[in-house]
Amino acid sequence: MDKFRIHGGVPLSGTVVIRGAKNAALPAMAAALLTGERVVLHNVPRVRDIATLRSLLDELGVDSSIAHEEYGNRVEIEARQLISPVAPYELVKQMRASVLVLGPLLARFGHARVSLPGGCAIGARPINLHLKGLERLGATITMDHGYIDARAERLRGAAFHFDTISVTGTENLMMAASLAEGTTVLENAALEPEVQDLACLLNAMGARIQGAGTSRITIEGVGRLHGTEHTIIPDRIEAGTFMVAAVITRGCLRLERVRTQHLTAVIAKLEESGAKVSPGPPSGAGQAFDTLTAELPGGLTAADVTTREYPGFPTDMQAQYMALMTQASGSSVITETIFENRFLHALELVRMGADITVDGRRAVVRGPTPLSGANVQASDLRASASLVLAGLAAEGETVIDRVYHIDRGYERIEQRLAQVGARIQRISED
Ligand code: EPZ
């Protein structure tokens, strides 16, 4: 298992090009199952989760390819037919977002057999709402041997209200409803930019979706969808992570190919704690994206945060923000409202010298406390990012084990950090 070795204390400076959003690329790749024609996706990040989903498409008998482009990577998918409707346990256990093939397989082929994704480090992660919604659309769903078996002659449009806001739940049902007979209305739907990007892709494929980005999404089913080309939105969580890297090291980073409008809650919170975030000229192919600069001109002060569904402060930025608050003057209360066990990084930060008290879904961080390098262990994707950020700020050497977690969602993060001055290297071990 690979490790990272970091020597902290270097203020980062330079330019980072932000990659496409993993959590937009995954549903987009699943959406390609809804047509037999070629779907071309640009700005796809080259991360483990994308490779895992490509392996799953391969298992299903669907051709896909990935190639470098000047900005990001191009993935081409052509789901002419299936050799199997089964998403096997070995792949689903690696990436629970595999459940995103459920809706498209059911809608296009009438049958899907997907391993139940277990829980993960941050919580039980049930998918009851995905299944309840598909049943509302007329699917027959049974469970056996740890697999979900879903069947439907033809899905029928229906109204469905989400008891809890679910990002992939909204995405799964939006994809399934695209080929259903009649109209579907999703209430209490997720507003995330990744949901909006998926609706944009589906409509480019011939779907008739309105209201994405609001809590009420209307999908008028159509007989078939066609191929298209689509550019994945920038990764707002990767952008937020690099912004924190600039602030926690008291450096200055210019981020290119971002979408600033997706970062308002993160920018507001960082500025509340003393950071300076400045917009720059448009960047990327056709100047389609934004640029911003993050730095810390003066002191860092503690600011409370509560994670919320979009457009609130994202849960996927909570661990990174906690690392930052260990360096802020004063006490900050961090409340995690989305997942029940998303403070695993706190224990490792304490081992590096942080003063953090966890009580259920609340953590109190008292700072600033000097961090000293230590051997730490990553537990999940964003906790790993938190430990990298702490290592960049710590005195001495930090060795982070199990960095495969971070490789799931960040493309070559150690190389991109080193390019802006970080003393970080990957130690590859068998
Ligand atoms: C998506 O996960 C993201 N993953 C997560 O990012 C992100 O943390 C999460 O949304 C919240 O923003 C992808 O998009 C691939 P949810 P998802 O369904 O869809 C409960 C990362 O770091 N719930 O919105 O699985 C659930 O337990 C990952 O990139 C049910 O009860 O999250 C949670 O408490 C981590 N029943 C809440 O809803 C369901 O059927 C939100 O979960 C579904 C969800």
Summarised one tens digit per residue, pLDDT across range 386-413 is: 999 999 999 999 999 999 999 999 999 9
Whether the CB of 405 sits within 6 Å of ligand 1 = no
Ligand 1 near 312 CB (within 6 A): no
283 pLDDT tier (thresholds 50, 70, 90): confident
Mean predicted confidence (pLDDT) in 282-306? 90
Cβ(125) to ligand 1 under 6 A?
yes
In the predicted structure, residue 417 carries a pLDDT above the cut 70: yes
Q: How many whole angstroms from its chain centre is CA 165?
A: 16
- What is the C-alpha to C-alpha distance for residues 427 and 300, in angstroms, rounded to an integer? 32
Beta strands, E only, 336-395: 355-359, 362-367, 375-377
> Is the pLDDT assigned to residue 285 strictly greater than 70?
no
Q: With 80 as the cut, is the pLDDT of residue 337 above it? A: yes
**What's the mean pLDDT in 415-421?**
98
Q: Is the pLDDT of residue 184 over 90?
A: yes
Q: 3-state DSSP helix/strand/coil percent for the chain, to nearest 5? A: 35, 30, 35
Q: Give dist(CA 222, CA 203) in Å, integer.
A: 11
CA angle, residues 81, 54, 27, in degrees to nearest 5: 85
SS3 state at 196 = helix
- CA-CA-CA-CA dihedral for 169, 212, 241, 276, to nearest 10: -150
Report the chain's terminal Cα–Cα distance, integer Å.
6
Residue closest via CA to ligand 1's atom 27 equals 125
User: In this predicted structure, what is the pLDDT of residue 280?
Assistant: 85
Residue 148 corresponds to which amino acid?
I
Which one of the listed residues 40, 66, 120, 358 is annotated catalytic? Answer: 120
Active site residue 200: no
3-class DSSP state of 55: helix
Would you say the CB of residue 166 lies under 6 angstroms from ligand 1? yes
- pLDDT of 66 > 90? The answer is yes
CA of 126 to the centre of ligand 1 (A): 9
Whether the pTM exceeds 0.85: the reply is yes
β strands within 240-325, DSSP E? 252-258, 276-283, 289-295, 305-306
| CB-count exposure of residue 430 (10 Å: 0-12, 13-18, 19+) | exposed
- For range 105-129, the mean pLDDT: 90
